[in-house]
Amino acid sequence: MQTQAVVNIAPSSSHGHYVNNAKNVIKLDDITEAFFVEGESILTTNNHTSLEMKDDCLINCQVVYNPFSKMFEKSRD
């Protein structure tokens, strides 16, 4: 099985979040930074723990509630 190169699934992050060894990584949406990861893979970053993913999965950018704007927005590093 051929695997895809390392893919940054958090382009707006100052640290980056990288999927390694996935069969395929599909970008679903630029604004919400949603990605579908096919196959067994490892998610690595230098500001969080590495995460082994054994199955296909959907990865979205973390969303938090801002009480000042009273809106949900992407979490910032």
Q: What is the pLDDT of residues 6-20, one digit of tens each?
A: 888 888 887 788 999
pTM score, whole prediction: 0.79
- Tell me which long-range contacts 62-70 makes (C-beta under 8 A, separation of at least 24): none
Q: Are residues 22 and 7 in contact, defined by beta-carbon separation less than 8 angstroms?
A: yes
**How far, in Å, CA of 39 to CA of 42, rounded?**
10
Q: Are residues 50 and 35 in contact, defined by beta-carbon separation less than 8 angstroms?
A: no
- pLDDT for position 3: 60
DSSP-derived secondary structure letter, 5:
P
**How far, in Å, CA of 59 to CA of 9, rounded?**
8
